[in-house]
Amino acid sequence: MAELLTLIPDVEDGVLGWQERALCAQTDPEAFFPEKGGSTREAKKVCQTCDAKAECLEYALAHDERFGIWGGLSERERRKLKRRA
Reported pTM: 0.78
Interval 52-65 mean pLDDT: 95
Q: What is the 3-state secondary structure (H, E, C) of the chain?
A: CHHHHHHCHHHHCCCCHHHHHCHHHHCCHHHHCCCCCCCCHHHHHHHHCCCCHHHHHHHHHHCCCCCCCECCECHHHHHHHHHHC
List residues forming the annotated binding site.
24, 47, 50, 56
List residues forming the annotated binding site for [4Fe-4S] cluster.
24, 47, 50, 56
Over the stretch 2-45, which tens digit does the pLDDT of each residue have? 343 333 444 444 556 889 999 999 998 899 999 988 999 999 99
